[in-house]
Amino acid sequence: MITIVDYGMGNLGSVLNMLNKIGVKATISSSHDEILNAGKLILPGVGAFDAAMTRIQDAGLGVILEKRAMGDRIPILGICLGMQILTRGSEEGKLPGFGWIPAQAKRFPVQPDLKVPHMGWNIVYPSNASRLTENCEKEARFYFVHSYAVFVDKAENSILKTEYGIEFDSAIQCDNIYGVQFHPEKSHRFGMQVLKNFASL
C-alpha cells in the first residue's frame, strides 16, 4: 500500500488518479497511524520550500517521516517540491530540508530568453541506473514546473539529468529515498512507467 502524504501542499488527487489507473493500491492521508503503517510513501508538493517544511513540522509529521525514511528505510518518493525537501535545503528558504539525499536546490540562473519557472515538457537523460527509471524510454519526456533546481553533491546520487539553460538533476536517489523534479502524474505513459517502477520496488 502506498500512502500519499497530505501535508496541505499540492495536487494530491492527480497522483492518486494515476496510481488508480495503473492498478496500484494507494490512499491520501495525513494520519500519523496510516503513515506509520504504510509500505511506501509519496511526498508530493507544490509551493514554497519553507511553507512545506513548516506544515510538515506543524502537523507533527517530521519525526514520523524521519523514522520511516531512516529507521524503517521504506521507499519514499518525493515529487517536485516533495523532492526538494529531501535535500539539505533550498536557496528559496531558510529552513533546513530533511537532508536524506546530499544535494541542494538553487534558483535557476537568470538567462535571456529563458523564462522562470521552467514550465513545460522537457527531455531527461539517464546519469545512473536505478530501479525507479528501469524500462524508461530513451529521451522520455516529462512535465516540469519549478523555479529552483536540485544539484547533487556526489554524481552517484543523480539518476536523471535535464537541461534548461543549465544542466540539473531531474531525478535523484540515495538508497531507499527517491526524488523526481517532474510530475510523473502529469506525464502520460512516461510518468506511468516511473510510478509503476516505484510501486514494484
Q: Which residues of the chain form contacts with other proteins (CB under 8 A)? A: 11-14, 17-18, 20-21, 46-48, 115, 117-123, 141, 143, 145, 163-164, 183, 185-189, 191-192
Instruction: Measure the CA–CA gap between 185 and 106, rounded to whole angstroms.
Output: 24
Q: How far is CA 1 from the centre of its chain?
A: 18
Point out the catalytic residue in the list 92, 136, 146, 185.
Answer: 185
Instruction: Measure the CA–CA gap between 142 and 68, rounded to whole angstroms.
Output: 28
Minimal distance, residue 120 CB to other proteins, in Å: 5
Instruction: Measure the CA–CA gap between 57 and 192, rounded to whole angstroms.
Output: 31
Minimal distance, residue 67 CB to other proteins, in Å: 29
Minimal distance, residue 1 CB to other proteins, in Å: 20
Q: Is 80 a catalytic residue?
A: yes
Which CB atom, from 95 or from 123, has the smaller least distance to other proteins?
Answer: 123
Q: Where do the H-state alpha helices sit in 38-187?
A: 49-58, 61-66, 81-84
For residue 108, give the DSSP letter: P
Minimal distance, residue 169 CB to other proteins, in Å: 17
Q: Is 146 a catalytic residue?
A: no
Point out the catalytic residue in the list 80, 92, 136, 146.
Answer: 80
Please check whether residue 172 is in contact with residue 154, taking contact to mean a CB–CB distance below 8 angstroms: no
Which CB atom, from 79 or from 174, has the smaller least distance to other proteins?
Answer: 79
Which CB atom, from 71 or from 112, has the smaller least distance to other proteins?
Answer: 112
Please check whether residue 62 is in contact with residue 37, taking contact to mean a CB–CB distance below 8 angstroms: no
